[in-house]
Amino acid sequence: MTPPGDEPSGQTASVQSALAVSSRPDVRPKTDLSVLKKRADFLRAARARYKPGPGFVLQARRRAPDESASGIRVGFTCSKKVGNAVARNRAKRRLREIARLILPTEGRDGWDYVLIGRRTDTATRDFIALQNDLRAALAAVHR
């Protein structure tokens, strides 16, 4: 452990860790995904297209011309059927991560997406399989 005044090249530990993370090739830059928060947006998505999959259910809708049409918006939900708060939060964390990785490249601008977690499958399914499920669901919804 180094004393507080002995940081190499005058950088603090938090700056060094931020530099180390940003130089990793597998970390993508932050994208312009907006998060759905209003109940009305979730209800509109529920009336639109949906694609059930083994790890989650995808609901998708194209926003109307009078709504803000720029960017991709995404929402996440897990009911109490998924489990206790710990299980629901774990499932939503996994859904957020696959959305962060897949939607910027394969989602469409001006669309809203809602990912709904499934009881045991969302938390236990292989992460690569979840990503492939999202790719397949997006392809089916956009056909």
Q: What is the pLDDT of residues 23-72, one digit of tens each?
A: 444 544 455 788 999 999 999 999 999 999 999 999 999 998 888 767 89
Q: What domains are there in the chain, each with its CATH number?
A: 31-141 (3.30.230.10)
The sign of the CA dihedral 82, 130, 53, 61 is positive
The predicted-structure confidence for 70-95, as pLDDT tens digits, reads as follows 789 999 999 999 999 999 999 999 99
pLDDT tens-digit series, residues 14-32: 444 444 444 444 544 455 7
The span from the CA of 100 to the CA of 28, in Å, is: 9
User: Any residues with CB less than 8 A from the CB of 81 and at least 6 apart, and which?
Assistant: 119
Task: Quote the percentage of the chain above a pLDDT of 90.
Answer: 66
| Collapsed DSSP state (helix, strand, coil) of residue 76 | strand
What predicted TM-score, i.e. pTM, was given to this entire model? 0.76
What is the distance of C-alpha 92 from the center of its chain? 8
